[in-house]
A and B are shown apart, each in its own frame.
Chain A
Amino acid sequence: MVEVNFKNVSKKYEDGFEAVKDLNLDIKDGEFLVLLGPSGCGKSTTLRMLAGLEEITDGDVLIDHLKVNHLPPGARDLGMVFQSYALYPHMTIRNNLSFGLRMVKGELKLTKDEIDSRIQEISEVLELSDHLEKKPKELSGGQRQRVALGRALVRRPKVLLMDEPLSNLDAELRHQMRKEIRRLHDTLGTTTIYVTHDQIEAMTLADRIAILDKGELQQHCAPMEAYHNPANDFVRSFLCKHIDELVDTANALFKKPGEENE
């Protein structure tokens, strides 16, 4: 049971800017939560506080009912996919994937065979087996994206974090990877938190979405519920209106010639 809870969490930077204000958010075990909002709304900051890359000014962050506020990032047992993938350029794909496993020390230290079998397992799932001895720069954007996913997943993390992972891909690949990510989540059942500013991405991927604006939580519910019952004007314009406009544009584009005069 891996739950993630944000309890009255806020983040204030030194210059006085308040990125996140008094956030309360509960993520259920095995849930796919999408943090959605315009840029600068604090969604990335929220994710980075959970990952331990950003200090928490106030409140508690709980993973699996444990307060992790002061735990170093490596000890929180998380996997994270960065927007720029952040693959280690000097290592082969195999070493990129195994780096986290090799860093485990003490009782939990993995043997070489264990590491190899984990790598094999994950590279089969992500269709990377042929590329294990290559360097990241030899791979295409989609393949790099899959390596980044693999690196996050190979540690069997309690929670998988993704920070706009698809925004560097072209439309076709993005569509593919979206399906892939959802498929992976359905197979592995890892609690996942996904940050995006793309409404469609949020609607198609999420079990539940949390919509943020100016550091405040606007609505937290299933995607269709947010669409049908927007909690306030912001949600209405950012989510509902945007989707309606997209649908209208698509309809206008693909209208059959006979219907033109209606």
Chain B
Amino acid sequence: MTESRFMRDWYVPVEILTLRSWLVVSFIVHLLLLTVEVLRDDSVSLLLGFIVCILFATLRASLPKIHDQGKRNISLALSALIIGIGIFRLVSSSLSVFDIWMHAWTIIPSSISLWWLSSRAVTVWTSNKLSTSAIEFGLLRNFETIKKHENFSTHLILTHFVFITVIPLIWIIDIAFSPGNALGGEIGDSFSTEHFSKILEGDSFWIWFVNSLIVSIGTSLLGLTIAIPAGYAFSRYKFTGRDVSMFAFLLVQMFPGIIILVPYFLVMKTLGLLNTHLGLILAYCVTALPLCVWMLKGFFDTIPRELEEAATLDGCNQFQVFTKVVLPLSKPAIAVTALFSFLAAWNEFLLALTFNTSNDMYTLPVGLASLISSTGQAWGDFAAASLLVSLPVALLFLFFQKFLIEGLSAGGVKG
């Protein structure tokens, strides 16, 4: 008897378990949706949304416990009530995609809870007739179903996040492929490649592209040439001021870039490096170096010292140890670092805007911004060009994906 009591305490039907978390999620979603209602400034709708919110919270609180027929009935009634309000709001709405989605969040969770609360498993559980074998069966059923529920839930939530992330992209793509330079209009209502041909046939895009390419590749090359030996030295040698200089590297990163903008400009002006590629490369290297050095140092730390000692005994000098053993082992880390400094330079806007003021020295981001001038705002051209700018980056990421993961999860260099 005690044994079955013990098991009874452990058994809650999977429906109730899932509802417990999903009603909370629904509540939070509706809370967020309230802000939309506030923006829409529709007081009736706002009131109904608020009521739905409260009802979801009450439903969550009134979910039945074991042998609790009364609470179950309350929950059933609440679910039905929420469905009713949901359907009413859906019918009285304008039936746009957003409205349907929003009211689906009211109707579907409440329908599911109505369905599940009236299911046989919950009925038996809330009534007083739970035998030991029924519990055993129920636990087995939970074990089999709960994974499916979890999978479905995570995917549903992730889909929402993916959608939120992708919306701006879809929007940009739509503008890029629509004729005219206006924002707005329904997505996918017209199609034209005029912006792309205009951008690709014009000279300035290609000039900016080449500028960006030179600056970015220059930055990653120069950055690596400095960062690799520096990272190695930080990782392997103990010298005076080692810790201090490593911290100083980070210190520079702690200030917002705008603070060093003016001093930078003055330095570049004195050196005559304004409107040159070299000036930008130098500036980018300085900003990218700390991260590169720290990343590489972290990787070099994971290479066992014994490997280098073995190489010394095999007759290598310090430099050969570095080139023949350490460098080949660090390929993934170096690739990642190169990619990061490349991307940083490729996307940078502020320094490029300040240093290189002549039109034929613009990098792509600055060039893009120049499309949106105060006189004529070429949104279509801008969208097309920004897609073209992101394309190489996206390709690089696709191409280096395996390397990236390897480099970021580095450390597995065991003999």
Contact = CB atoms under 8 A, between A and B. Distances in A.
Q: Do A and B come from one complex?
A: yes
Interface of A: 51-53, 72-75, 78-80, 82-90, 99-100, 103-104, 136-137, 144, 151, 155
Q: Which 4 A-B pairs have the closest CB atoms?
A: A74-B315, A100-B314, A103-B315, A86-B306
Nearest to B314: A100
B328 interface: yes
B313 interface: yes
A51 B311 CA distance: 12
A153 to B, nearest CB: 13
A85 B307 CA distance: 9
19 contacts: A53-B309, A53-B312, A53-B313, A72-B317, A74-B312, A82-B310, A86-B304, A87-B310, A87-B415, A88-B310, A88-B325, A89-B414, A90-B328, A100-B313, A100-B314, A103-B315, A104-B315, A137-B414, A151-B310
A201 to B, nearest CB: 20
A73 B307 CA distance: 14
B413 interface: yes
Contact of A88 (B307, B317, B320): B307
Contact of A82 (B306, B324, B413, B414): B306
B318 to A, nearest CB: 9
Given A82-B306, A86-B306, A73 B312 contact: yes
Given A82-B306, A82-B309, A88-B325, A99 B415 contact: no
B316 A86 contact: no
Given A86-B306, A88-B325, A80 B313 contact: yes
Nearest to B331: A90
B329 interface: yes
Contacts of A136: 415
Contact of A74 (B306, B316, B414): B316
A232 to B, nearest CB: 34
Contacts of B312: 52-53, 72-74
Contacts of A74: 312-317
A199 B187 CA distance: 79
Contacts of B324: 99
A51 B315 CA distance: 12
A78 B415 contact: no
B315 A78 contact: no
B319 to A, nearest CB: 12
Interface string B324-353: 110011000000000000000000000000
B284 to A, nearest CB: 31
Interface in B280-312: 304, 306-307, 309-312
A136 B328 CA distance: 15
A191 to B, nearest CB: 16
Given A86-B415, A89-B415, A144-B415, A100 B315 contact: yes
A82 B310 CA distance: 8
A51 B308 CA distance: 13
A80 B311 CA distance: 10
B215 to A, nearest CB: 32
Interface residues of B, number: 20
Nearest to A51: B313
B320 A73 contact: no
Task: Report which residue of B306, B311, B313, B325 has the largest number of chain A beta carbons within 10 angstroms of its beta carbon.
Answer: B313
A53 B304 CA distance: 14
Contacts of A73: 309, 312-313
A53 B314 CA distance: 12
A84 to B, nearest CB: 5
A72 B315 CA distance: 8
Contacts of B314: 74, 99-100, 103, 151, 155
A103 to B, nearest CB: 4
Nearest to B306: A86
Contact of A84 (B304, B313, B317, B320): B304
Given A90-B328, A90-B329, A103-B320, A85 B313 contact: no
Interface string B141-167: 000000000000000000000000000
Nearest to B328: A90
Nearest to B303: A89
A78 B306 contact: no
Contacts of B325: 88
Nearest to A80: B313
A72 B319 CA distance: 14
Interface string B387-415: 00000000000000000000000000111
Contacts of A137: 414
Nearest to B329: A90
Contacts of A84: 304, 306, 414-415
B334 to A, nearest CB: 13
Nearest to A144: B415
Contacts of B320: 103
Contacts of B313: 51-53, 73-74, 78-80, 100
A110 to B, nearest CB: 12
Contacts of A72: 312, 317
